[in-house]
Amino acid sequence: MRVFVVYKSGTGFTKAYAEFIAADLNGALVPFKDRRRLKPDPDAVLIFGAPIKASALPGSRWFLRNRGRFKKAYAFAVGASPADSKDLPAFLEKQKRAGLDLFYMPGGFCWEKMSRTTRFILRNFFLPAVKKAEGEESEMYRTVSHSYSQVDKKFADPLIQAVKKEIASD
């Protein structure tokens, strides 16, 4: 069964997971900007991944509109939080209520690869807001004030296994 992995990625974390998934499932990688080249295929699996931005998943409207054009569709979200973050269940539950059943993969933060505008906004608005709300010693503030990566293929395995199960039952 053909597998297409459509991904959005600003600083490379989602791309790294998309590459793990495509390599393991022998799938084709499709950057989100090229999504229109993807033809509807009722025999194929569609996988969509994007980074969480301000508690939302950019590109998910495209996924929700197009997933019915494939045999089976899966979506994953990549965020700054660790896999066991206490904030994650509420986010995933909210997305599920909106029809999006997500696999979560912990990404990271890469100040060096962010656009200048994003860096400016984070530095001048987001970081001061976190500092004010949670304090300079808070986990959240310490986490996002530097670059780090939590990327590990093991976090992509639950999605990969679900797709393999689907392919085997075909």
Ligand X SMILES: Cc1cc2nc3c(=O)[nH]c(=O)nc-3n(C[C@H](O)[C@H](O)[C@H](O)COP(=O)(O)O)c2cc1C
Q: Closer to ligand X by CB, 1 or 92: give it.
A: 92
Contacts of 1 (CB under 8 A, 6+ apart): 43, 44, 45, 71, 166, 167, 170
Q: Residue 31 interacts with ligand X (CB under 6 A)?
A: no
CB of 13 to ligand X, least distance (A): 4
Closest separation in Å from C-beta 145 to ligand X: 13
Strand, helix or coil for residue 56: strand
In angstroms, what is the minimal distance from the CB of 12 to ligand X?
5
Stretch that binds ligand X, among 38-46, 79-87, 131-139, 154-162 (CB under 6 A): 79-87
Tokens of 165: 């199960």
In the complex with ligand X, the residue whose CB is nearer, 27 or 106, is: 106
E strand or H helix that includes residue 75: strand 70-79
**Residue with CB nearest ligand X?**
107
Q: In Å, how far are 122, 132, 151 from 54, measured between CA atoms?
A: 11, 18, 20
